[in-house]
Structure 1
């Protein structure tokens, strides 16, 4: 695993480092700025992994910093994916400690950072990476830190660190024991002007908000469609989950053998599971848009939108962002539903509908003036795509369903209340071409 961790400035010069193994020579970090320059000069060879003189340089960027891990090239225990995951975890933890991680916060908090690195990694191997557990005995004020250290010497380390549940402390109590589970799926889609889907994917996550006393053990059952590779479903679709990731609290061995998700949750909010589905989808909201220029002086935009979800479902907070030629002016609108405004700063028309029921179809028309001096081309074209934003409650595109969520606390044996919600929403890349 990692031998040395360096925090470097924007030029690659080390600001702070922690050597865990002592097998990397001191001159190695001095070469890093030059290796960065060489990689920038040859973009085709640019990579977050650089090898030089038997040393691996693995780095990520954040704000004005490089976070760098170094290992021996001949090391047989180098797990590249785990190192990158750990570097990202360092950023998460330090951001939660300092609110913003940048060069100034590194210089102002170097003592705390050394303490955190010593707890997060031991001889190059990740150990405690949950911020809530680290904050149990590492604080940002030195006098508090000394007080906690003295108390730790007297009483030993926190119990959550010594047992198998390092992400949860003991003694948590709530008057009302509840667990909230959100299944959220973001749909990314690229649609051409004829309504054909060129690319589609689903990015899903199961979020949990745990407000449970003691040390509860949760058992989550999902329908087979999402657990297994579905090559023989009744729908005739081949649905295969990719990039499935679980929170560290999930017992992976139990999932692999029984396909059941069992876990002792951290207190508060966390992502239990994330996944991706690359599958063929039909547009949930279809946009048919025509842009026509007249006499080089005005442009007429006609758009029809159709909600292709089930009639019993409703899309909320729908936004259709229609690009227009730059410097267009004097907008006039006609529309059947919702609200429309012109956004000249972003050269777009914004059509908003608070509610868009399934099966409904609405239309709008916009006429805008064009400065004749700027428009010598009779066919004014807009290269940017239409962007669509929406949220659909009580619905998932993949078909994932929570069969049950059982909560047991063997010592307290309290009555608990699980809540489950489903949300499908537009991703960052739900777009419709207009050319």
Structure 2
């Protein structure tokens, strides 16, 4: 068994897009939607709902039960149901791929976007998921030859001449049916024939994310860095590239785009490939720490010292945040869930050792979200020597409040990679022109800091 079908819900939980569940009774997709909406309504936070929800049997011919796999995509929620003996990871991989396809076609994906492009979305669904529930073409580069993007489709339809009464053997009859399909004419499925660009260039973005959990005593319990190399190729013809790293030993648990020749990587630790045209993810990996370092102990570049007192109908807190790196961190976001009954908060921000309060500026700003019961502290730029303190209190309708016992910290470090991965060179064969190569790095972090 594979994926039963796909459903896209709007912000209010109503279906916007739904694939055909031909092998199931008509009430089956409604049962999936009601089960998910019930779980969301009972949860205090939408992100606290399990990504896989069991749907019990009991309607019509549906007798085995199923798994409702769901992910958020902005204001929308994508559902892929799985029944029988199937791996839910297949469903999540398909949901991720379909989400990337929608963003590639429409840019910003919303309920209005889907409603304005029903025909394109359903065509994409037909090409990406067959009637048996198995994923088909999920490469945006190949799909663009099969399903025309909205803007190109509109231009093409506007340029078509008015239909005539010419028969199949008359001079006005079209001979397009005898021409080979552009989507399948190329011997390489991810790259079409006849690609032309005025400027031949390929750009690589090395994006790495640190994920860590820090205990209440400040000791790092676990930390790992995961990365991916995103490429944007604008190359003429059929280029064959060879990319080599100066330190490939920092890469482990690698996953590659289908264009990469795996035997060459296993033998030489170099990437040999014919790239798709446009944007694609060349590879994903995990940072392999040196043998001298402890396993799973990537250094955490910040420090948090929380002092929280929970009393009746509220509590008080003092949170000190400081940087432990010589680089500038950007878009720092520190969040604390104050409990289901939280009603409000009052805070002041100051530099460490200073009693001067502030509500904004270089030290950031704080907000309380009543719907999510979330206290958020945002710092746009954190210098290497920076250290700031957030003091305040919160109120609650419950006599004994139950805030989360962990802060969620997110940050970005521009032009930095935790693994220090370096691209040595990119060589071109198969074409005679010279290419421009560009490489840049970006680091980010997601840390759970317990108190």
TM-score range, shorter chain: 0.5 to 0.7
Q: 1:57 offset after TM fit, Å?
A: 6.7
Q: Residue 381 of structure 2 is aligned with which of 342, 347, 354?
A: 354
Q: 8 Å contact 1:3–1:69 — kept in the other structure? A: yes
Q: 8 Å contact 1:112–1:138 — kept in the other structure? A: no
Query: How does 1:161-176 map onto structure 2 within 5 Å?
Result: 161-176=184-199
Establish whether residue 431 from structure 1 lines up as the match of residue 448 from structure 2.
Answer: yes
Report the Cα distance in structure 1 between the residues aligned to 2:7 and 2:402, rounded to whole angstroms. 47
Query: How does 1:34-73 map onto structure 2 within 5 Å?
Result: 36=32, 46=53, 60-61=69-70, 63=76, 66-67=79-80
User: TM-score scaled by structure 1?
Assistant: 0.68
Establish whether residue 417 from structure 1 lines up as the match of residue 436 from structure 2.
Answer: yes
CA RMSD of aligned residues (A): 5.1
Q: Which moved more, 1:160-169 or 1:79-88?
A: 79-88
Q: 8 Å contact 2:306–2:320 — kept in the other structure? A: yes
Which residue in 2 is equivalent to 1:316? 329
Instruction: Report SS of the residue matched to 2:329.
Output: strand
User: TM-score scaled by structure 2?
Assistant: 0.66
Q: 8 Å contact 1:247–1:272 — kept in the other structure? A: yes
Q: 8 Å contact 2:101–2:140 — kept in the other structure? A: yes
Instruction: Report SS of the residue matched to 2:230.
Output: strand
Q: Which moved more, 1:34-43 or 1:320-329?
A: 34-43
Q: 1:285 offset after TM fit, Å?
A: 1.2
Instruction: Report SS of the residue matched to 1:117.
Output: helix
Which residue in 1 is equivalent to 2:168? none
Report the Cα distance in structure 1 between the residues aligned to 2:329 and 2:379, rounded to whole angstroms. 10
Q: Residue 280 of structure 2 is aligned with which of 270, 276, 288?
A: 270
Q: 1:181 offset after TM fit, Å?
A: 0.9
Establish whether residue 213 from structure 1 lines up as the match of residue 240 from structure 2.
Answer: no
Which residue in 1 is equivalent to 2:304? 287
Q: 1:320 offset after TM fit, Å?
A: 5.4
Query: How does 1:180-195 map onto structure 2 within 5 Å?
Result: 180-195=203-218
Which residue in 2 is equivalent to 1:230? none
Instruction: Report SS of the residue matched to 1:314.
Output: coil
Report the Cα distance in structure 1 between the residues aligned to 2:394 and 2:89, rounded to whole angstroms. 53
Q: 1:297 offset after TM fit, Å?
A: 11
Q: 1:272 offset after TM fit, Å?
A: 0.8
Report the Cα distance in structure 1 between the residues aligned to 2:56 and 2:260, rounded to whole angstroms. 30
Query: How does 1:83-98 map onto structure 2 within 5 Å?
Result: 85-86=93-94, 88-90=96-98, 92-93=100-101, 96-97=104-105
Which residue in 1 is equivalent to 2:365? 341
Q: 8 Å contact 2:101–2:138 — kept in the other structure? A: yes
Report the Cα distance in structure 1 between the residues aligned to 2:78 and 2:376, rounded to whole angstroms. 38
Structure 2 residue runs of 5 or longer lacking an equivalent are 40-49, 162-172, 288-294, 355-361
Which residue in 2 is equivalent to 1:225? 249
Instruction: Report SS of the residue matched to 2:383.
Output: strand
Q: 8 Å contact 2:28–2:62 — kept in the other structure? A: no
Which residue in 2 is equivalent to 1:128? 137
